Chains A and B, each alone.
Chain A
């Protein structure tokens, strides 16, 4: 009895295997690469989540328009599996796990920002799924000794050092800086870097203040700042914080020689929302539509990427959107180089990649963070963001003084 039961089980198993093999043979004509992308599509971070999604979608569309990704003689259609984690980091981690275990994705794009990317990286590391973070810059994300995580943003000091250099050597007598940061992983980290960059160049940091997430009023901090009369104000936060901050600066008459804000001015939305007050706000980001690279990736020249983006979305791409598209383009190049979608081999291909893309030169350091980019610094002049660094793509010189 027991024997019969056991053998029927074996039969069942055998039949199942045969069927599974049949199904997989039938599907070879339509091989698909599935990439999981947990994104904050609703909730406070949704503007950022939507941007990243646009970037990924543009890449997937471009790749599929050319028949898909070719590796080892096979072509694969690209399918991005999105999960909305509602701007809730613990849920981002769960989503990453679910994408890997139940949606069986081959690769992963990290959730938004350094905090969530770091949290989710432990999941993809555990399952050995190559993961690209399109919007995580903090070194702390990459120094965990992980092998499967790669990132397309350089460390934060590559943004603050050029700014501090240019301002300190301008001859405009900028001696003091007031730093005002949102108490959140990235805004705080970049503010700390600015503090170091400024001190290293002999600029005195007269104040370093933080404000809580959800702050609806900056008047007290700005009133204090007004009394200290800094030559340079460095404010960090997300777009809504910075709009409010800029308006209250005008209300209270805080008028430094240099006003730098990160990360909002890179978005056209910020320029529209602050109007004349945007004049002469400086900023830095990892990419800008004005840079010009001759890429060997699917998008080719930077200008071609910008044109493709504009044709699709009727707007100019910003660095977050470009970085998301670049994450896809880079993954595609690594798969082609590996000649397979085997995760180990793709991981090795990513680690040894040395290419130029529309986004810039791409080479990952030992921690997985990109080391080859030279992030541009720019200033809003007459309603447009214009690059003043690096010299190769410079459009203007840094202007001093701000509107009211």
Chain B
């Protein structure tokens, strides 16, 4: 029974991990940009949810839309105004640019919100439900389901919509896409905006679970890295599988070897994977 409970814990955690990572994966896969800003985007999403709840009484489940929209605009502006200028340059150039931007943005959030930890305390939390001896923390479960639904929605956008097809086309061959009349720079900006939107939405959901502070951004960023490498870079399915796998591995690692080794186990596995299967669990690149 305890194994089932740990599996549920791991799945709930993993769904949230997937949502944190998917935007990061999208940007990396399509733009070949390692977006160091991603963690701070997640934190900004959490703050939007926090203030929306405290000031306006909007439940974080619903402030996903608000956080997503704001972060989309921020992401679009950053890509169109700054990153597009160096987009063809080697990956290190864009890495340094996003790293520098993150220093500025993260310290700005520190100045604006201070390093104090805040939490969203729901007036009517859903509490926990025991089903067949398994404890389900309902707010977490709903957040996880929403996270997975959002990830699925992003997948649908990419495969069904016109802009989605354009993103995939640019991902496959930017020059050919340009010849077919796709405005590549605009597609880049939209993709980066979508990545930021997913980060904001994830942040909004996470505001229910983790203490909110600008200091959390590095943790979110390193999680996104691990999930991407674990699942396979650049595909939504990869981020989903990577996130769920990481959640489950961490949970069982903590159970079987001890809580102090939950992180060791997941990073150890990561190294093994990098050696023996560097393309990740899903082993396929791209958004075809």
Residue pair A221, B2 in contact (C-beta under 8 Å): no
Chain A residue with Cβ nearest B206? A216
Identify which of B118, B140, B210 contacts A216 (C-beta below 8 A). B210
Q: Would you call A165 an interface residue if the criterion is a C-beta within 8 Å of the partner chain's C-beta atoms?
A: no
Q: How far is the CA of A220 from the CA of B209 in the complex (A)?
A: 16
Is B215 in the interface zone, CB < 8 Å from A?
yes
Chain A's nearest CB lies how many Å from the CB of B15?
12
Other-chain contact of B117, A209, A223, A239 (Cβ < 8 Å): A239
One of A44, A183, A217, A274 near B250 (C-beta < 8 A) = A217
Question: Do A244 and B2 touch (CB < 8 A)?
Answer: no
Does A46 sit within 8 A of B, measured CB to CB? yes
Say yes or no: A43-B215 contact (C-beta < 8 A), given A215-B259, A220-B262, A247-B209. yes
**B127 smallest CB distance to A (angstroms):** 8
Residue A212, interface by CB 8 Å:
yes
Q: Once the chains bind, are A252 and B137 in contact (CB under 8 Å)?
A: yes
* CB neighbors of B among A273-325 (8 A): 273-276
Q: Chain B residues near A141: list those with CB within 8 A.
A: none
Number of A-B contacts (CB under 8 A): 110
Cβ A210 vs Cβ B260 within 8 A: yes
CB of A220 within 8 A of CB of B255, answer: yes
A269: Cβ under 8 A from any B Cβ:
yes
Interface size of A in residues (CB-CB distance below 8 Å): 41
Query: Could you tell me if A214 and B211 are in contact, using CB atoms closer than 8 angstroms?
Result: no
Residues of A within 8 A of B6 (CB): 219-220, 223
Contact, CB under 8 Å: A46 / B117: no
The reply to whether A219 and B251 form a contact with Cβ atoms under 8 Å apart is yes
Inter-chain contact B9/A273, CB cutoff 8 Å: no
Which residues of the partner chain B approach A223 to less than 8 Å between Cβ atoms?
A: 2, 5-6, 9, 255
A219 contact set on B, CB distance < 8 A: 6, 9, 12-13, 251
Bound state CA distance, A239 and B114, in angstroms? 15
Q: Are A44 and B215 in contact (CB under 8 A)?
A: yes
Q: Count chain B residues whose beta carbon lies closer than 8 angstroms to a beta carbon of A.
A: 42
Q: Return the contact of B219 from the options A214, A248, A253, A276 (Cβ within 8 A).
A: A214
B13 contacts A42, C-beta separation under 8 Å: no
Given A220-B255, A269-B116, are A212 and B260 neighbors across the interface (CB < 8 Å)? yes
Tell whether, in the assembled complex, residue A244 and residue B211 are in contact, meaning their CB atoms are under 8 Å apart: yes
Q: Give bound CA distance, A404 to B255, whole Å.
A: 24
CB distance from B132 to the nearest CB of A (A): 15
**A217 and B117: CB pair below 8 A?**
no
Contact with B along A208-249 (1 / 0, CB 8 A): 011110111111110110110000000000011001100110
- In the bound complex, do residue B258 and residue A210 qualify as a contact, i.e. CB atoms below 8 Å apart? yes
C-alpha spacing A227/B213, complex, angstroms: 32
Q: With contacts A44-B215, A221-B254, A251-B128 known, is A215 near B262, CB below 8 A?
A: yes
Q: How far in angstroms is the closest Cβ of chain A from B123?
A: 10
User: Of all chain A residues, which has the CB nearest B135?
Assistant: A252
B117–A214 CB distance below 8 A? no
B63 nearest CB across to chain A (Å): 19
Please, how many angstroms separate the alpha-carbon atoms of A404 and B135 in the complex? 14
Query: Bound complex: CA of A209 vs CA of B251, how far in Å?
Result: 15
A50 within 8 A of B: yes
B2 to chain A: which residues have CB within 8 Å?
Answer: 223-224, 227
Alpha-carbon distance between A42 and B115 when the two chains are bound, in angstroms: 9
Nearest 4 A-B pairs (CB), nearest first? A251-B137, A220-B254, A219-B9, A221-B259
List 7 A–B pairs whose Cβ atoms lie within 8 Å, in order of A's numbering: A46-B115, A211-B260, A224-B255, A247-B209, A248-B137, A273-B211, A274-B119
Known: A216-B223, A219-B12; 10 extra A-B contacts, CB below 8 A, are A50-B115, A210-B260, A211-B254, A216-B210, A218-B259, A227-B2, A251-B139, A253-B130, A273-B118, A275-B119
